Chain A
Amino acid sequence: MLAARAHLPDGRLGPGLARLTAEIARLMDAFAAAGATAVDPPALQPADILLDLYGEDIRARAYVVRDPARGEMMLRPDFTVPVVRMHMAHGAEPARYAYAGPVWRMQEPGSPRPSEYLQAGFEIFGAPDPAQADAEVFALIRDLVGADAALVETGDMGVLAAAVEGLDTAPHRRAALRRHLWRPARFRRLLERFGAGHAAETAARAALLARVAAEGAPAVIAAAGPEIGLRGAAEVAERLARLAEEARTPPLSAEQVAGIEAVLAISAPMEAALGQLRALALPGLGPACDRIEARMEALAARGIDAAALPFATSFGRTTLEYYDGFVFGFSAPGRPDLPPVAQGGRYDRLTEALGGGRRLPAVGAIIRPEVLLAARGCPA
């Protein structure tokens, strides 16, 4: 038991450890050959930055420790955030980085998922041609995981985002949908609310909005109670105005809602999926389709049968939260008990959030060396 580590019963000792060390060296050598500089970010990361990025939910998934001088720290739940921060602070552009080491994730009691596991990763920042960089990372990871993780999935978070931006409706609705792209249940509820549910929603607010129209927002607010706390009466009045605007805005048409749902339902080989997306002829989807096509060509130029790669618009929507473009994953065939051997994607937006508004093209991927060895069926 003491020699066990994630997915490898003997991975902390003797030959089991030697195999793992050799595998990590193989991956890091390949990343170096692809031009990457090795980086080694601290295991302890400031909690504030991760909380701001992921929200309070991260507390349930990351180990929080309290440092008397530095305040709340977290054991890094991944490398991407610390590597982006290092690059934003010290890096030259364009830049390529490689890393390997443990990450920590708190799991629900009884969960078979490991709370400590290894990641070996590769990230490219600032590459001018996104299609080429996407294809390069995908091809590199595919070659490294090989036949041990031949189950491929791909997607593109930018497609749904583009469909939302293309909706002909009030800007506040697009903003609300954009904010919940990564929360499918909430996204669907909003879509319902702005569409078929709009009449019921408007009726539920009617009494309040009628009072506000008759008496004025300040009087209605003052009658409800004294102004306390940081969020002031002006902010309440502002939101009342937005609620009135939402009530006045015509509901999303059945066609608009069906369009978004059709985008979400697409799951087919990449070339066929692209054809289906183009055939939807939704406003705003053109550039997103062009990006998929350019990427498909770049993948094909690297000898990958890109047209046949499985592609789903909703792939990566719940698990890979900071990705906003191309996403992909590799899993071991016949091993649904194992997490994906590798996953990655594009995360331009994350660089903006961490770089104080400076946005940088960024794409990367991680391989889980322990899972890769387990998938290869090393003797226990």
Chain B
Amino acid sequence: MGLVFALFFVLPLALVVVVSFWDYNDYEILPSFTFRSYTETFEGCYDQLPGLCTIFKTYVTTAELCFAVWAITLVIGFTISYFLAFHVRSLTMQIVLALLCTIPFWTSNVIRMISWIPLLGRNGLVNQALTHAGVVDAPLEWLLYSRFSVILAFVHLFTFFMVIPIFNSMVRIDRRLIEAAYDAGASGWQTLWNVVVPLCKPGIVIGSIFVVTIVMGDFVTVGVMGGQQIASAGKIIETRLNALQFPPAAANAVILLAATLLIITALTKVVDIRKEL
């Protein structure tokens, strides 16, 4: 167990950190200890203040995407969990419906993503339907290769990661607590807000960690659905890697890791998830 952890987690991570301090030129990487990759990444950031340099802009974009995806998956995930946990009475039906949610995972992420393209493209089904119905005159451009399509794909791909932990928290809620709230005169919304949501906090945090870490580090979805036009933290690393500039790629990975860890730490401050595990 410890060995597996060391081999597949600690060692690669340590290597990334080490390489991020190496030097490089156009055709090779040079073992040394320099902050070059970091200083280059943040080059000009101080001078441009209060304007944002490229790296900060990219992180802001990534954070915005991440926040939008998080908020939408949270609302949808919570609603689905609520339906499964409180409106589906029989355990069999709960299991069947939960399994139904996993069916999309039988195909790969990329295929699920790409299948949006014929739907959302300039001459895609949605645009054709809208033009024929006379809702719009010209095809909508923002449907594909835009933030909209990126967020849509993320939500499509990752809502399930929100559903499972929240559902898990929710089914553990004693039904008598709901009755006790009703007995105390709480309305449906009051019960939801004062009893169900607080008791689902651990599930919400765990689901949020899944979604945030995936979206922060993603470059495939942003690339495919954004038409390679949207910069994200993950894409910076990819670009550097494609240019075979490993030290800056590693440095960016370390920065991304730090940013993600910050978010997760903030999340875990909200609730103690160790109780739940």
- A and B bind: no
